């Protein structure tokens, strides 16, 4: 293949008329997944649908589909910030992928992603811009047998049914929450059915800290019991991102190891947290557009709101950051008023963090592309993970995977 002329990913998109927007569907997902796996056996999971997509686009554009298809067997990924890993140490899948924070961490550890899934259309735009791959959509409609075999399953499954804010909102609306929530709570069981169908050796799940206490502990009891019934030994732990980035962000991480694969010999421990050294000053940009400065109206509202709640004995209110300290947890609602973390400015109202500063606050690399609006960017980073924390845990998890007595690749058929 080294003697064959390569073609850049951007040229492929241009040739087939692929536009990066919020309407990219599973047809483009099949095609981009195929491009990422043309040199692996996993291409069989995508080639039929990919060839159909190529043929349809060529018919629309009057191109020779056979000649075009041959051009796509040697893709030049140099324009993509986080291209597929060559000669990977292990394979993984990225569920509820968001914008790919967990994927970056595990690619840095030598893993190759063979399948991704994310339903939010604007998150797909950001994901595709950074990885050259469009995630598949509605996971509830995905046949687990159409997913390639893999050694690690990653999933930051939806937070809202288990978060304090989400529970409060649904109580106010008279709706059920947690596993009783018919629209979102059951998505955990899509993880379960994929683990069961694929006999995945290792998984890492991420969720809000409140998962442990939700519904008096019953929700976590169900999750733990379900995973153990599947034959996994699980390791749950609440960890704080403040040891890696200047942000107080507690999340529960649940690592799981398949008993039939590891025979309870996985020797896994969560990493020791390093001494926290990151401060807000490290992630702040030198020059920021004035549009991020709060208007007088919004600033007055936030101050009055804080006074009102302080009088009631509540802790609600805005947070002016200390440049030599850390921020509160940024959330998906940051786009509304930025009240969780406001940057003081001399002689004027405070300002919001910019989306790039939010990326920095979550530990995303500087080359990470933000192709969406500010509001979408705030939502995406507020829902994302602290990338270096995930990578630190992943390093321990991958070490256990690769040091297993029997090579992991031989275990895919174990029942």
Mean pLDDT of the chain: 90
Question: Are the C-beta atoms of residues 117 and 97 closer than 8 Å to each other?
Answer: yes
Q: Report pLDDT digits (tens) over 308-342.
A: 877 666 666 788 999 999 999 999 999 999 999 99
Q: Are 366 and 106 within 8 A, CB to CB? A: no
CA 313 from centre of chain:
36
159 in catalytic set: yes
In whole angstroms, give the CA distance from residue 404 to residue 156: 25
pLDDT at 414: 41
Terminal C-alpha separation, the chain: 36
3 pLDDT tier (thresholds 50, 70, 90) = low
Residue with tokens 């936030």: 302
Over residues 231-260, mean pLDDT: 97
* The pLDDT value given to residue 189: 85
- What are 107-160's pLDDT values in tens digits? 999 999 999 999 999 999 999 999 999 999 999 999 999 999 999 999 998 754
Query: 42-51, 58-67, 213-222: which has the minimum mean pLDDT?
Result: 213-222
Residue 249: burial class (beta carbons within 10 Å; 0-12, 13-18, 19+)? buried
Map residue 99 onto helix, strand or coil: coil
Kindly list the domain boundaries of the chain, sorted by start residue.
81-273+385-411, 285-322+332-382
Selection from 166, 147, 258 nearest residue 208 by Cα: 166
Evaluate if residue 1 carries a pLDDT over 80. no
User: H/E element holding 212?
Assistant: none
Residue 274 corresponds to which tokens in the numbers above? 């390093």
Contact present, 63 and 86 (Cβ < 8 Å) = no
Place of tokens 């270096």: 388
Fold adopted by 81-273+385-411? Rossmann fold (3.40.50)
The pairing of beta strand 342-345 with beta strand 250-258: unpaired
- In angstroms, the CA 205 to CA 102 distance is 10
Quick one: average pLDDT of 350-374? 98
Whole-number pLDDT of residue 411 = 44
Which tokens go with 189? 């069981």
pLDDT at 182: 31
CATH of 285-322+332-382, one of 2.40.10.10, 1.10.510.10, 3.90.120.10, 3.30.479.30: 3.90.120.10
Rounded to 5°, the CA angle 206-131-258 comes to 40
Closest by CA position to 95, among listed 114, 117, 120: 117
| For the chain, the helix, strand and coil percentages under 3-state DSSP, each to the nearest 5 | 45, 15, 40
Express each pLDDT in 32-59 by its tens digit.
Answer: 999 999 989 999 999 999 999 999 999 9
- Locate 265 and state its tokens: 């010999």
Kindly state the DSSP code that residue 353 receives in the 8-state scheme.
Answer: P
Give the H/E segment covering residue 234.
Answer: strand 232-240
Q: Select which of 58, 113, 159, 358 is catalytic.
A: 159
Distance CA 317, CA 357 (A): 21
- How many helices, marked H, and strands, marked E, lie in the chain? 15, 10
CA nearest neighbour of 152 among 92, 232, 234, 236: 92
Q: Count CB-CB contacts under 10 A for residue 260.
A: 12
Say how far residue 17 (Cα) sits from the centre of its chain.
27
Residues 15-44, mean pLDDT to the nearest whole number: 96
Tens of pLDDT, residue by residue over 176-214, are 554 434 334 468 889 999 999 999 999 999 999 988 888
pLDDT at 215: 77
CA-to-CA distance for 246 and 324, rounded, in angstroms?
A: 9
Q: Half-sphere exposure (CA, 13 Å, Cβ side) for 228?
A: 10
202 DSSP β-pair partners: 152, 257
């Amino acid at each position: 293949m080294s003697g064959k002329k390569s073609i850049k990913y951007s040229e492929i998109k241009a040739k087939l008329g692929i536009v990066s927007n919020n309407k990219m569907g599973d047809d483009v997902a099949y095609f981009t997944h195929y491009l990422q796996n043309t040199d692996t056996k996993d291409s069989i999971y995508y080639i039929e649908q990919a060839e159909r997509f190529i043929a349809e686009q060529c018919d629309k554009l009057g191109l020779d589909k056979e000649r075009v298809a041959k051009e796509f067997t040697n893709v030049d990924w140099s324009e993509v910030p986080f291209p597929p890993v060559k000669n990977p140490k292990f394979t993984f899948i990225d569920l509820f992928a968001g914008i790919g924070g967990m994927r970056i961490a595990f690619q840095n550890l030598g893993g190759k992603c063979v399948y991704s899934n994310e339903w939010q259309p604007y998150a797909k735009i950001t994901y595709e811009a950074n990885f050259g791959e469009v995630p598949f959509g509605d996971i509830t409609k995905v046949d687990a047998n159409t997913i390639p075999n893999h050694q690690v399953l990653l999933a930051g499954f939806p937070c809202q049914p288990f978060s304090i804010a989400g529970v409060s909102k649904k109580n106010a609306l008279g709706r059920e929450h947690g596993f009783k929530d018919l629209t979102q709570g059951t998505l955990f069981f899509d993880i379960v059915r994929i683990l069961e169908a694929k006999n995945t050796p290792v998984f890492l799940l991420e969720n809000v800290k409140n998962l442990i206490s939700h519904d008096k502990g019953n929700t976590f009891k169900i999750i733990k019991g379900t995973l153990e019934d599947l034959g996994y030994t699980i390791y749950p732990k609440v960890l704080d991102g403040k040891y890696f980035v200047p942000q107080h962000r507690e999340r529960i991480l649940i690592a799981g190891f398949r008993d039939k694969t590891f025979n309870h010999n996985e020797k896994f421990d969560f990493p020791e947290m390093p001494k926290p050294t990151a401060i807000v000053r490290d992630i702040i940009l030198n020059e920021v557009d004035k549009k991020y400065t709060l208007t007088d109206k919004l600033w007055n509202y936030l101050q009055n709101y804080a006074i009102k709640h302080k009088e009631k004995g509540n802790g609600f209110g805005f947070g002016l950051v200390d440049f030599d300290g850390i921020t509160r947890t940024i959330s998906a609602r940051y786009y509304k008023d930025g009240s969780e973390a406001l940057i003081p400015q001399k002689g004027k109202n405070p300002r919001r963090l910019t989306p790039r500063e939010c990326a920095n606050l979550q530990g995303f690399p500087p080359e990470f592309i933000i192709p969406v609006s500010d509001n979408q960017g705030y939502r995406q980073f507020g829902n994302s993970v602290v990338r270096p924390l995930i990578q630190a845990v992943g390093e321990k998890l991958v070490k256990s995977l690769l040091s297993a007595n029997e090579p992991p690749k031989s275990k895919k058929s174990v029942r």
